[in-house]
Amino acid sequence: MSNQLLQGKKGIIFGALDDKSIATKVAEKCVEAGAQIVLTNAPVAFRFGEIQKLAERLGCEAIPADATSLEDLENLVDKSMEILGGQIDFVLHSIGMSLNVRKKRAYTNLKYEWMQKTFDISAISFHKVMQTLFAKNAMSEWGSVMALTYIAAQRTFPDYNEMAESKALLESFARSFGYHFAQQNKVRVNTISQSPTKTTAGSGVKGFDVFFDYADKMSPLGNAPAEACADYCLFMFSDLSRYITMQNLYHDGGFSNMGMSPAVLDIE
């Protein structure tokens, strides 16, 4: 891949937490491809110190921002435009959290205040990010906004809990806001539906390792790794994908089109 793919482009990446994060891989590859970036995560994530180390390594700034707070997002966008010297070319939303999942609550016995928090953090934050960018006319023409999602938005994965509805809402926001952003200045909005990936967040789901192996067998190409997802994000941020918008793009080794695989049944 050309290391000049994002030459001169400027972006904000939400959600880099540690070296397992897809957002971390995206950040590394964007800088390699010639982009200038700003990293951001919730203030609590900064206590671990990993995001500051990543920023130092990549030669970029890291700004704490609670993605559910409009005030924090306005500050983030203003500071990012100041640091990067102009409008933003690409944004990655890689945010998801469910207290019900963390506390192992059954889907049939959810705490609704936790559910609302899940929706706010995992989905509504995406609308808040886009609305802030839109109001400030912060995105450059033909810019690209991406969010990471999962096929549980379309199909039932019982242990994914109310994160499934979160992802369905996230994908709907991409379609709806994608229209308005295209009208404003041809900005594209898409979601990438990624294979199960061994990230800190993903591994918190009950039975993840067993499911990871199942998905790997069900996918003709195997599960797509985080590095490959980062490559897809780079393509989506680049000018090569400028007429793709309002799409949910499966990046899953073919899993989404499979009914049954002999590999799962151990059939030769």
Does any domain span residue 31?
A: yes
Helix spans in 59-207 (H):
70-84, 99-102, 112-119, 125-135, 163-185
Mean pLDDT, range 234-243, rounded to an integer: 98
Phi (first) and psi of residue 19, to 5 degrees: -70, -10
What is the number of structural domains in the chain? 1
Does any domain span residue 249?
A: yes
Phi (first) and psi of residue 76, to 5 degrees: -60, -50
Domain that holds residue 210: 10-265
User: What pLDDT is attached to residue 204?
Assistant: 61
Strand partners, 194: 251
d(CA 148, CA 168) in angstroms, rounded, equals 11
Domain CATH code at residue 138: 3.40.50.720
**Tens digit of each residue's pLDDT (9 = 90 or more) over 97-150:** 999 999 999 999 999 999 999 999 999 999 999 999 999 999 999 999 999 999
Does any domain span residue 75?
A: yes
Phi (first) and psi of residue 86, to 5 degrees: 145, -165
d(CA 45, CA 135) in angstroms, rounded, equals 27
Does any domain span residue 1?
A: no
Does any domain span residue 161?
A: yes
Of the candidates 258, 242, 245, 227, the residue with the CA atom closest to the CA atom of residue 190: 245
Does any domain span residue 47?
A: yes
Helix (H) or strand (E) holding 234: helix 226-237
User: What pLDDT is attached to residue 145?
Assistant: 98
d(CA 107, CA 160) in angstroms, rounded, equals 9
Does any domain span residue 228?
A: yes
Does any domain span residue 205?
A: yes
**Tens digit of each residue's pLDDT (9 = 90 or more) over 18-61:** 888 999 999 999 999 999 999 999 999 999 999 999 999 999 99
Please identify which residue in the block is written with the tokens 């490959």.
Answer: 228
